Amino acid sequence: MLFKKIIILSLLMCVLSLNAQNPIVQTYFTADPAPMVHNGTVYMYTTHDEDETIDNFFTMHNWRCYSSTDMVNWTDHGVVASLKDFKWSDKTNGAWAPQAIERNGKFYLYCPIHGDGVAVLVADSPTGPFVDPLGKRLIDGTANIWHDIDPTVFIDDDGQAYLFWGNPGLYYVKLNEDMISYDRTVGSNGIFAVEMTTEGFGEHIGRDGNMRTKYTEGPWVYKRNDLYYLVYAASGIPEYIAYSTAPSIKGPWTYRGYIMERAPHLAFTNHPGIIDFKGNSYFFYHTHELSGGEGFKRSVSVEQFEYNADGSIPLIIPSKEGVKKSVSNLNPFARVEAETIAWSEGLKTASDNEGGIFVTKIHNGDFIKVRSVDFSNGAKSFKATIASAAKGGKIELRLGAPDGQLIGTCKVKDTKGWTDWRTIESKTKAVGGVHDLYLVFKGGEGELFNFDWWMFSR
């Protein structure tokens, strides 16, 4: 009986690795997704739950960024900002849910520091380096800076930018065009408090037994077809995702219902992000599935959805399959970063002294899955850049599954250093068409090698 259970579990894990797309990052715990579309690429900013928690609470020191051009393969850009970027703050924990936006060629990352309010960083590139332009927090003047969290930023059609935030209240300011200051001549020293009505945000019974609106935290503001949407974590702990709409960014808001209800693999918190990309709509959220149910170790997931004809958002069911179809195929004949991943097992990413990201912690049996790889013009050889201070190993190139058709094997030797990079090459069987590619790592005990990039040749 025990043997049968082991076989069944092994088959189940194989099926999951074949079909799973969620969570979309497996190398780190990520949460609070903030997707931004720029020049045909989705840049997703996330918080980072550390592998080891302190005092059984959120342990978050920095913000990470991932990008995709096809919505199934995500490239890791590493840590793009951290609490250390804010010299004026003494907080060493609390890098909570951010959001980024581009304006006039600059990229602005709005960062909540738990206990120190909302701050802002600016960069010339969506992946940084980001710097602190103010030397102090951006938002100043609310009653409790511990509640100044979860900023969401939006630029309206007339060019006016708005920043919303807050738990348990909801506030906003009118940002100036420089995006690092706001108009203090309006509202209460520039800050508006949204009226939390049951018509605008529904109602539920809180843990204290009192009736309150469903709005909890994590607002996400955007506009579609002349309708303003405010999506947010709702109904206390455990959190649902709900939304409200309005004819104006200033309201009045009308409660529209839940977008995502509870599910066993969702964390006790949740955080929404919604974008349109290449003709499709996508809903970002997070789960605790990768950590096996630890609510302080969360992971970002994505679902594709369609708006209803009246502009309403349907109820979205969180799935393990995630995005079923890529919006474009991956070109294997140009350099592909090893940290471009649809799914992986047993791996981490790291950076070298030059700031380059690479795949590390590679052991026997680990693998990378890359979806929708277009071999239409035929491939005859494969090369990769690797480094090893061990005995090395090999990279098996397989199609469709970790044990799928073997089209080539690339042998990796000791390079005398974990960042002493060498490019290696091997022949492959002739292959054409579009396939999911598995790079399966084989070798002896311990860490085998580090992996920087790969490409095929015709």
Q: Which of 86, 42, 120, 112 is nearest to 300 (CA)?
A: 42
DSSP state of 443: -
- Three-state secondary-structure class, residue 453: strand
Is 32 catalytic? The answer is yes
Q: Catalytic: which of 32, 70, 337, 366?
A: 32
DSSP code string of 32-69 = EEEEEEETTEEEEEEEEE-SS-STTS----EEEEEEES
Contact 392, 412 (CB under 8 A): yes
Contact 49, 58 (CB under 8 A): yes
Which residues have CB under 8 Å from 248's CB, separation 6+? 228
d(C-alpha 21, C-alpha 136), whole Å: 40
Centroid of chain to Cα 316: 18
- Three-state secondary-structure class, residue 156: coil
d(C-alpha 158, C-alpha 181), whole Å: 18
- Both tokens of residue 65? 């960024």
Helix (H) or strand (E) holding 3: helix 2-19
Distances (CA, A) of 322 to 282, 286, 302, 305, 404: 10, 12, 6, 10, 22
Q: Nearest 10 degrees: CA dihedral of 67, 241, 48, 362?
A: -60
d(C-alpha 328, C-alpha 326), whole Å: 5
Contact 28, 63 (CB under 8 A): no
Q: Catalytic: which of 51, 90, 199, 403?
A: 199
Contact 432, 355 (CB under 8 A): no
Alpha helix stretches (DSSP H) within 196-257: 198-201
Is 76 catalytic? The answer is no
Q: Which residues are marked as active site?
A: 32, 199
